């Protein structure tokens, strides 16, 4: 069966299944969500109004046996940034959607009354039902209840209280193979889902399978691809320590934003490091190595248990740990794990929310390092939607404006993640020029600047950084379309067999003849489509700038400032 577009209109509660227009046929994941947003969402619409659309798309290879191909993309106009947004995540939903035969799910309109709804997708189509029981509940209760209603095989996309209350830090949770959750984290897409009054989407693939045009060629290419991933030493380190292995090296390089970006090194770095986390996990009988979806061979995720050896949280990323840790000067991993768990349940982005806490600490709302008070605010204020809870739940920019703080680390109102752009300059170009606000994953220059993967570049020099960021942003847009986890990029940058094998898999899946150049062109066209949407929404080159304090406040230990001129940044778009 050919893949179809599933469309749901929440204004009149109608659904339809449509053929895929020729223009979208070659797209998947981010390329598809961004093209649909560009084609169907008026750039000037209110992100939480009836004219915005929420789109889910599995990657081009999702649902196949291709290693690490189970990433799902969600797209819309972002209520946090006002730009186009694509957020992607692991979990089981991409594979379920692909097996349902759904190339994209488009949710449009808005109910006129106050009722909440759920969606059920099967290969036959979409059913819309009223939902009462789960309204006001967190994501873990949703997953537990929905599995009981259907089966534990069901895929689930859901929002917690954050999304229901339309907070711009709200994310969309994606059930993982162990019935825990991963997150479509950034840009407030949970609020868009909440504005459509959808509490959860259940995905029942039944016995659906993904068609492959040339199975022998596909298997052969997947074998080469998998070997490249497994053999790369970065993959091995990720499996052991998770992405949190970065705390110590970014700290050593002087680029670990500390105490709301007022320093570049954190005294408590060792206590929150990947090495310490690994030892704690092993000691308490957790799992240091864990995949966010079946088919991942890198397995950067982990199961973190509490002091008594009971499950506490999973899938803690470096950026989350940094945000709650160094940025708020909390040096206790158990407290961080507790907060991670609470934020997963409420359904709010760990980066946006924790950076918002850092700004709130600067503004005197609470003391730096006071993790007990952070936990209280999460459960008593944010989850319950008090005034303070909403100020923080609307992100770092919201807190800065409310409390008159000038050191507010955001670009296009989205919180800057775990790498200081004064000490690691290439990543600053990515933050400034990304079509989606500050986001390290859009063009991960850290690989080259700090980790020495894919070449080397001096992180304190401006030399070549615009080109580095541009090349990576183009490649990333393409990778985000395939359903591949971005962590394949380390092998792709170093091992010459990796990318050709990936392209061979795409060709074998669809019976086509893509070349490496086609893939680069795909990446460029996605960036240009996203950029054009933002321009039509009112953004200009003057929005591609970092906050002023980066230019005026030197950061220790290198006493570096952000010294790119506007003209230099603007050359990014010369392609």
* Site residues, ligand SF4 (CB under 6 A): 68, 90, 291-293, 296, 298-301, 485, 487
How far, in Å, CA of 362 to CA of 356, rounded?
A: 10
The CB density around residue 314, as the number of other CB atoms within 10 Å, is 23
CB of 260 within 8 A of CB of 201?
A: no
Nearer to ligand SF4 (CB atom), residue 300 or residue 348: 300
Our finding on whether 182 is near other proteins (CB under 8 A) is: no
End-to-end CA distance of the chain: 38
> Kind and range of the H or E element at 200?
strand 198-203
**Which partner from the list other proteins, ligand SF4, none does 342 bind, CB cut-off 5 to 8 Å by kind?**
none
**Which partner from the list other proteins, ligand SF4, none does 400 bind, CB cut-off 5 to 8 Å by kind?**
none
For residue 304, the minimal CB distance to ligand SF4 (Å) is: 14
**Which partner from the list other proteins, ligand SF4, none does 371 bind, CB cut-off 5 to 8 Å by kind?**
none
How far, in Å, CA of 183 to CA of 128, rounded?
A: 23
Residue 381 Cα distances to 295, 331, 368, 391, 415, angstroms: 39, 23, 18, 10, 21
Q: Where do we find the tokens 């990446």?
A: 523
For residue 235, the minimal CB distance to other proteins (Å) is: 8
**Which partner from the list other proteins, ligand SF4, none does 296 bind, CB cut-off 5 to 8 Å by kind?**
ligand SF4
Percent helix, strand, coil in the chain, to 5, is 45, 15, 40
For residue 290, the minimal CB distance to ligand SF4 (Å) is: 7
Q: In what order do the strands lie in the sheet containing 198-203?
A: 125-131, 116-122, 198-203, 155-158, 172-175, 181-184
Our finding on whether 283 is near other proteins (CB under 8 A) is: no
For residue 80, the minimal CB distance to other proteins (Å) is: 21
For other proteins, the binding residue among 54, 57, 154, 246 (CB under 8 A) is 246
What the block records as the tokens of 401 is: 């404006």
Selected range binding other proteins among 32-40, 156-164, 231-239, 344-352, rule: CB under 8 A: 231-239
Query: What 3-state class would DSSP assign to 126?
Result: strand
**Which partner from the list other proteins, ligand SF4, none does 253 bind, CB cut-off 5 to 8 Å by kind?**
other proteins
**Which partner from the list other proteins, ligand SF4, none does 344 bind, CB cut-off 5 to 8 Å by kind?**
none
How far, in Å, CA of 94 to CA of 174, rounded?
A: 9
How far, in Å, CA of 1 to CA of 555, rounded?
A: 57
* Residues recorded for the chain: 575
CA dihedral 112, 117, 121, 125 (to 10 degrees): -40
- Taking alpha carbons only, the member of 210, 264, 218, 274 closest to residue 241 is 274
How far, in Å, CA of 286 to CA of 431, rounded?
A: 35
The residues, any chain, with a CB within 8 Å of residue 565's CB and separated by 6 or more, are: none
For residue 271, the minimal CB distance to other proteins (Å) is: 12
Q: How many residues bind other proteins (CB under 8 A)?
A: 40
**Which partner from the list ligand SF4, other proteins, none does 90 bind, CB cut-off 5 to 8 Å by kind?**
ligand SF4
For other proteins, the binding residue among 440, 470, 531, 545 (CB under 8 A) is 440
**Which partner from the list other proteins, ligand SF4, none does 406 bind, CB cut-off 5 to 8 Å by kind?**
none
The residues, any chain, with a CB within 8 Å of residue 23's CB and separated by 6 or more, are: 35, 39
How far, in Å, CA of 121 to CA of 6, rounded?
A: 9
Selected range binding other proteins among 7-15, 376-384, 441-449, 566-574, rule: CB under 8 A: 441-449
For residue 487, the minimal CB distance to ligand SF4 (Å) is: 4
CB of 193 within 8 A of CB of 54?
A: yes
Our finding on whether 463 is near other proteins (CB under 8 A) is: no
Our finding on whether 452 is near other proteins (CB under 8 A) is: yes
For other proteins, the binding residue among 21, 233, 538, 554 (CB under 8 A) is 233
For residue 129, the minimal CB distance to other proteins (Å) is: 39
What radius of gyration do the chain's Cα atoms show? Answer: 22
Our finding on whether 304 is near other proteins (CB under 8 A) is: no
For residue 285, the minimal CB distance to other proteins (Å) is: 20
Our finding on whether 124 is near other proteins (CB under 8 A) is: no
Nearer to ligand SF4 (CB atom), residue 138 or residue 291: 291
Q: Where do we find the tokens 């492959």?
A: 212
**Which partner from the list other proteins, ligand SF4, none does 441 bind, CB cut-off 5 to 8 Å by kind?**
other proteins
Our finding on whether 245 is near other proteins (CB under 8 A) is: yes
**Which partner from the list other proteins, ligand SF4, none does 301 bind, CB cut-off 5 to 8 Å by kind?**
ligand SF4
**Which partner from the list other proteins, ligand SF4, none does 485 bind, CB cut-off 5 to 8 Å by kind?**
ligand SF4
CB of 362 within 8 A of CB of 258?
A: no
Strands, E assignment, 70-133 = 72-77, 84-89, 102-108, 116-122, 125-131
Our finding on whether 442 is near other proteins (CB under 8 A) is: no
**Which partner from the list ligand SF4, other proteins, none does 184 bind, CB cut-off 5 to 8 Å by kind?**
none
Our finding on whether 486 is near other proteins (CB under 8 A) is: yes
How far, in Å, CA of 442 to CA of 444, rounded?
A: 6
For residue 14, the minimal CB distance to ligand SF4 (Å) is: 35
**Which partner from the list other proteins, ligand SF4, none does 299 bind, CB cut-off 5 to 8 Å by kind?**
ligand SF4
Nearer to ligand SF4 (CB atom), residue 96 or residue 425: 96
For residue 481, the minimal CB distance to other proteins (Å) is: 18
Strands, E assignment, 251-291 = 287-290
How far, in Å, CA of 119 to CA of 352, rounded?
A: 28
Binding mask 310-349 for other proteins (x = CB under 8 A): -------xx-------------------------------
Vertex 298, ends 297 and 304: CA angle to 5°? Answer: 115
Q: 354-392 b/e with 16+ CB inside 10 Å = b?
A: bbbbbbbbbbebbebbbbeebeebbeebbbebeebbbbb
The residues, any chain, with a CB within 8 Å of residue 489's CB and separated by 6 or more, are: 444, 447, 475, 476, 479
Nearer to other proteins (CB atom), residue 9 or residue 445: 445
Given the rule CB under 8 A, which residues bind other proteins? 233-234, 237-238, 240-246, 248-249, 252-254, 270, 274-275, 300, 317-318, 440-441, 444, 446-447, 450-453, 456, 458-460, 486-487, 490, 557-558
């Amino acid at each position: 069966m050919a893949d179809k577009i599933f469309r749901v209109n929440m204004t009149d509660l109608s659904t339809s299944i449509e053929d895929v227009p020729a223009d979208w046929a070659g797209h998947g994941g981010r390329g598809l969500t961004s093209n649909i947003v560009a084609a169907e969402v008026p750039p000037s619409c209110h992100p939480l109004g009836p004219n915005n659309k929420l789109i889910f798309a599995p990657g081009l290879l999702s649902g196949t046996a291709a290693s690490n191909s189970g990433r799902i993309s969600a797209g819309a106009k972002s209520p946090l940034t006002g730009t186009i947004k694509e957020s992607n995540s692991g979990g089981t939903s991409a594979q379920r959607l692909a097996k349902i035969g759904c190339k994209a799910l488009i949710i449009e309109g808005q109910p006129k009354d106050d009722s909440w709804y759920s969606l059920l997708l099967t290969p036959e189509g979409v059913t819309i039902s009223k939902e009462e029981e789960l309204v006001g509940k967190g994501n873990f209760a949703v997953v537990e209840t929905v599995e009981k209603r259907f089966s534990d095989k069901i895929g689930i996309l859901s929002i917690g209280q954050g999304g229901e209350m339309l907070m711009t830090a709200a994310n969309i949770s994606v059930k993982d193979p162990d019935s825990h959750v991963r997150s479509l984290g950034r840009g407030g897409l949970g609020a868009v889902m909440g504005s459509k009054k959808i509490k959860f989407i259940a995905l029942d693939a039944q016995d659906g399978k993904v068609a492959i045009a040339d199975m022998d060629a596909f298997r052969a290419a997947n074998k080469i691809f998998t070997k490249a991933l497994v053999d790369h030493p970065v993959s091995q380190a990720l499996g052991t320590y998770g992405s949190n292995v970065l705390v110590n090296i970014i700290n050593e390089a002087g680029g670990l934003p500390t105490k709301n970006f007022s320093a570049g090194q954190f005294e408590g770095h060792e206590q929150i490091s990947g090495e310490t986390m690994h030892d704690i996990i092993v000691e308490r009988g957790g799992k240091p190595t864990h995949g966010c979806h079946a088919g991942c061979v890198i397995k950067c995720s982990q199961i973190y248990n509490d002091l008594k050896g009971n499950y506490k949280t999973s899938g803690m990323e470096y950026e989350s740990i940094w945000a709650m840790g160094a940025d708020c000067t909390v040096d206790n991993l158990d407290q961080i794990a507790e907060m991670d768990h609470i934020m997963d349940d409420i359904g709010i982005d760990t980066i946006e929310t924790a950076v918002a806490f850092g700004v709130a600490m600067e503004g005197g709302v609470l003391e730096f390092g006071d993790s007990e008070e952070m936990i209280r605010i999460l459960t008593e204020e944010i989850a319950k939607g008090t005034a303070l809870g909403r100020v923080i739940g609307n992100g770092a920019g919201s807190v800065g404006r409310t409390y008159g703080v000038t050191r507010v680390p955001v670009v296009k109102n989205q919180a800057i993640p775990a790498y200081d752009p004064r000490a690691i300059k290439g990543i600053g170009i990515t933050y400034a020029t990304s079509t989606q606000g500050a986001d390290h994953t859009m063009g991960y220059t850290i690989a080259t600047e700090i980790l020495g993967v894919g070449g080397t570049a001096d992180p304190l020099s401006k030399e070549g950084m615009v080109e580095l960021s541009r090349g990576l942003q183009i490649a990333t847009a393409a990778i985000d379309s395939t359903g591949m986890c971005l962590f394949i990029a380390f092998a792709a940058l170093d091992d010459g067999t990796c990318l050709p094998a990936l392209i061979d898999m795409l060709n074998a899946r669809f019976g086509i003849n893509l070349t490496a150049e086609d893939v680069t062109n795909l990446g460029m066209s996605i960036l240009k489509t996203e950029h054009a949407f933002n321009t039509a929404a009112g953004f200009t080159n003057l929005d591609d700038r970092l906050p002023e304090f980066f230019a005026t406040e030197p950061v220790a230990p290198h006493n570096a400032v952000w010294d790119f001129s506007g003209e230099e940044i603007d050359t990014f778009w010369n392609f």
